[in-house]
Structure 1
C-alpha cells in the first residue's frame, strides 16, 4: 500500500494543476463544458488529497498510542 501522505501530496498537486488549466481555459475561451470538468476534477483531487493527509496524521497518532 502506498503511503497516505505521498498520495495526499500527489492529489493536491493534481488539484493545483487542474485549477491552473481551468483558469487558462476561462481566459482563452470562457466558461464551457471543459472548464467545468476541470473544476470538478480539481475539487475531487483537493478533497481526496486532504482526506489522505488526514488519514496519515490519524495513523501516526494511532501508532504513538501503542
Structure 2
C-alpha cells in the first residue's frame, strides 16, 4: 500500500492555520514578543512542509 504525500500535507495545513490563529491571539500590545514570533515561525514551517508535500508527487 503506497502512501500519498498529499494526504500527509493536510495535518501540516491544519497545524499551520492553528499556529497562525494562536499567533494572532497572542498579540497584546506589540507583535515583537517571543511567543508571537515563535508561533509565526512554526506556522511558516508547517505551511512550507505542507506545500513541499503537496507538490512532491509531481516529481
TM-score for both structures, normalised by structure 1: 0.74
- Structure 2 counterpart of 1:52: 53
- Structure 1 counterpart of 2:19: 18
Spell out structure 1 runs of 4+ moving beyond 3 A. none
Unaligned runs of 5+ in 1: 60-66
Whichever of the two has the greater Rg, that structure is: 1
Q: Deviations over 1:13-60 (max 9, x none)?
A: 11000000000001x46431011000000001000000000013x15x
Once the 2 structures are TM-superposed, how far is the Cα of residue 5 of structure 1 from its aligned partner? Answer: 0.8
Q: How many pairs are equivalent?
A: 57
Going from structure 1 to structure 2, the CA distance change for 1:30 and 1:51 (only over 3 Å counts) comes to same
Q: CA RMSD in A?
A: 1.8
